[in-house]
Structure 1
């Protein structure tokens, strides 16, 4: 299975992801010409070599009206020790990216404005659909953070032309690479605080934190915003799974470099290769509790999922003295065992956890795209062991439901024929 693995030990941002994906192509000059022919107003992509901690990789710059802002100049930036000259939001507001002072100072785009730019692009409808869905994720996060309807959202940093360029480039390159599966490592979000158009915010910024919900991530002692909303939205849309690198036969490796220098190489690594896995060992951790409320159990389950659990579920049981109780079962990978044990003891009242090592047999999985009356929709296909089944991608269907006012059930029924 053709698999793309993204290693995010120094976070993820749009320009770093673009550059890393570019490193997977043999003829980068030709790909660069294709990107510059997409027709984003005023935008030009520039690819250059960059070295971090002795590693050669690529850095993608975006010029708007022929200019890119110099590092450290930012209309939304407070120059304090912890900020490291970063801005928030799009793929250029952190340790990795770029920002254009004239863009961020004057233009705040709505979803309608973004839609106009998307429709003007010289590319296929499948790529336009991907770009549109990424912005839907961003809009939903901004809507929840600010308490404003999606239709009234005006993008600040993520609406700048260079942020749009990053999202367009990643969607274009993903379409061109066409992996069967995209796996993303746990994401380093950095630490400290960041200055945004809305004021000084903690890292990760609120919109980023919402986008990372359900995605394994962690803070570090690097006082910088390593994961931007743009980066979070892109992996949320494209990733099939979030885990450490699977067993794979590696064919190509690309390094996308950020602008800033740290003691650790400031890069995102993209690995393309083949995986042939249908079985793995997994740890089953379980405990009995009889003194937790349903809300407390629900929160514990949420924390385990956010920590990277493969599956978490509960079973009702009868305990001593006739008391009703609950078994909380957490399934995780071998290298996540200690982390999951810590989370179980932290978020439950148990004083003991049982462990079983199991063989887990899984179907091979891939994502394909189908054309519907509402645009392109992703479909998850699972197959193997003489079984094949398909399922419409929830994020795509829910996005269409919000736009049209129809229920998910209606849309699934309408699209049933498209799956054939």
Structure 2
């Protein structure tokens, strides 16, 4: 399985992640040109070779109105205007990006806004970012999301995150490291401090790791094919970089959390509503099993499966949307096939095809929602649409059938 491993021994920031992933891209210069053609207002991307501690790598710079500002750290004050989430969403919606990338950009920036909201005790709609800081962060997030889309790893793993130590000065005063928004974004993710004084992980870096990384831990056994070094601006005794390694592993394996509770005093509608909220929040799976409970009451066992970094949010939602007074947690190993989504041409038009492979297995399946939509529109059966999609020679644009 194609695997990306991010080594965050000196933390992570948007520019460092961009630079490291850029070194893995088959056409780095062309990618930067395409970044600058996306239409981000007032923004220019520049990449340059750099050397730290004798190691060569890449350093990324984001210029706003022709000048490189400090990395975005929430609120900043100065002579520019301010942007809220509505403004950010408007900017992203007009970028020349594939829809999955736009969705990723908004999801990552939404994590940053939500963290700032909790830190400052204000609704997300009232959180405003200084214009330069906001554009700087959107540029970093957009670059990383597009690189992830084009590199298309089957799974993304990372080391525990070094956050640094000491204090950091911002517009609100002197704050401990990690900064409050960063600390919130890293909840449930293994982190550590150390002798290095300074802020090593930024809110943008933390949000990107939280959104993309499926599991944190030691590097798995893998055949590494490409290595990228993305350098930060600061100099330390250690090489200030994120190291990205792209290669092959035997199959998908990660640790996941199962959160369970027994329910005997909720209506089916209420249970269904709770399940919807959990899935909308990013749970890997949510399901129920009928069980017999005390006093001979029929009930359900509700199970929510999630990644370690989602644990606290899922616990909060389970207590919020169910009547349970307690939860049980089990740590499981999860093995998965590498999954991808392609678009195939058919006599009925384009249909999404889900493909999975690994562990000596390869399979494909047409997206049910597409089949159902066409069957309704054409007044035909699901089986007729599916036969047309997978008829010999019909699959085009989605890769070879395997």
- Give yes or no for TM over 0.5: yes
Residue 166 of structure 2 corresponds to residue 192 of structure 1: yes
Q: State the partner residue of 2:218.
A: 244
Equivalent runs, 1:214-233 vs 2, <5 Å:
214-233=188-207
Shift of 1:108: 2.4
Residues 104, 157 of structure 1: 8 Å contact kept:
no
Question: In 2, Cα distance between the equivalents of 1:150 and 1:40?
Answer: 23
Matched, 1:117 2:101: no
Q: Is 1:89 equivalent to 2:61 in the alignment?
A: no
User: Which residue is 1:7 aligned to?
Assistant: 7
Offset, 1:120: 1.7
Structure 1 equivalent of residue 104 of structure 2: 130
CA distance in 1, matches of 2:143, 2:254: 35
2:230 match: secondary structure: strand
Contact 1:109 1:159 in 2 (8 A): no
Q: Check 1:183–1:106 CA distance in 2 against 1; reply closer, same or farther (3 A cut).
A: same
> CA 1:384 to 1:45, structure 2 compared with 1: closer, same or farther past 3 Å?
same
Query: Are 1:363 and 2:335 counterparts?
Result: yes
Q: For 2:249, which of 275, 297, 315 is the aligned residue? A: 275
Secondary structure of the 1:160 match is: helix
- Stretches of structure 1 lacking an aligned partner (at least 5 in a row): 75-86, 94-100, 282-304, 309-327, 332-359, 372-378, 391-413
Q: Supply the distance in 1 between the matched residues of 2:187 and 2:357 (Cα, whole angstroms).
A: 24
Corresponding residue for 1:63?
A: 63
**Residues 88 and 194 in structure 1, CA contact (< 8 A), matched pair in contact too:** no
Aligned twin of 1:181: 155
Q: Which residue of 2 aligns with 1:212?
A: 186
Contact 1:185 1:244 survives alignment (8 Å): yes
Check whether the contact 2:49–2:58 (CA below 8 A) recurs between aligned residues: yes
Describe the shift of the 1:389–1:31 C-alpha distance in structure 2 as closer, same or farther (beyond 3 A): closer
Q: Partner residue of 2:24? A: 24
TM normalised by structure 2 equals: 0.64
2:168 is paired with a residue whose SS is strand
Mapped to 2, the partners of 1:218 and 1:157 lie a distance apart of 32
Offset, 1:141? 1.1
For 1:387 and 1:364, how far apart are their aligned partners in 2?
12
Cα 1:64–1:362 change in 2 (3 A) is: closer
Runs of 4+ aligned residues of structure 1 deviating over 6 Å after TM superposition are 278-281, 328-331, 379-383, 385-390, 414-418
Q: In the aligned structure 2, how far is the partner of 1:279 from the partner of 1:116?
A: 38
Once superposed, what is the RMSD of the aligned Cα atoms? 3.6
Deviations 1:370-401 (A, max 9, x none): 99xxxxxxx998986989999xxxxxxxxxxx
Change (3 A) 1:220 1:330: farther
1:400 aligned residue: none
Where do 1:72-83 residues align within 5 Å?
none
Task: Give the superposition deviation at 1:107.
Answer: 2.9
**Which one is further off, 225-234 or 137-146?**
137-146
Query: Shift of the alpha carbon at 1:244?
Result: 1.2
User: Following TM superposition, by how much is the alpha carbon of 1:200 offset from its aligned partner in structure 2, in angstroms?
Assistant: 1.4
Q: CA deviation at 1:110?
A: 0.3
TM-score, with normalisation over the residues of structure 1? 0.62
Unpaired stretches in structure 2, ≥5 consecutive residues: 256-307, 312-327, 344-353, 374-385, 387-402
SS in 1 for 2:122: coil
Deviation of 1:330 after TM superposition, in Å, equals 8.5
* In structure 2, C-alpha distance between the alignment counterparts of 1:380 and 1:235, rounded to whole Å: 25
Q: Structure 1 residues 105-114 or 218-227, which shifts more?
A: 105-114
User: Is the alpha carbon distance of 1:204 and 1:37 closer, same or farther for their aligned partners in structure 2, counting shifts above 3 Å?
Assistant: same
- Once the 2 structures are TM-superposed, how far is the Cα of residue 329 of structure 1 from its aligned partner? 9.5
Q: For residues 27 and 33 of structure 1, what CA distance do their matches in structure 2 show?
A: 10
Instruction: Tell me the secondary structure at the aligned position of residue 11 of structure 1.
Output: coil
The number of aligned residues is: 293
Q: Deviations over 1:227-278 (max 9, x none)?
A: 0000000010011111111110111000000111111111110000011047
Cα distance in 2 for partners of 1:205, 1:214 equals 16
SS at the partner of 2:59? strand
Q: Tell me how far apart the structure 1 counterparts of residues 182 and 51 of structure 2 sit (CA, whole Å).
A: 28
User: SS at the partner of 2:51?
Assistant: strand
Provide the rounded CA distance (Å) in 2 between the counterparts of 1:37 and 1:150: 30
Distance across 1 between alignment mates of 2:3 and 2:361: 22
User: Do the aligned residues in 2 keep the contact of 1:257 with 1:268 (CA within 8 Å)?
Assistant: yes
State the match for 1:401 in structure 2: none
- Do the aligned residues in 1 keep the contact of 2:252 with 2:337 (CA within 8 Å)? no
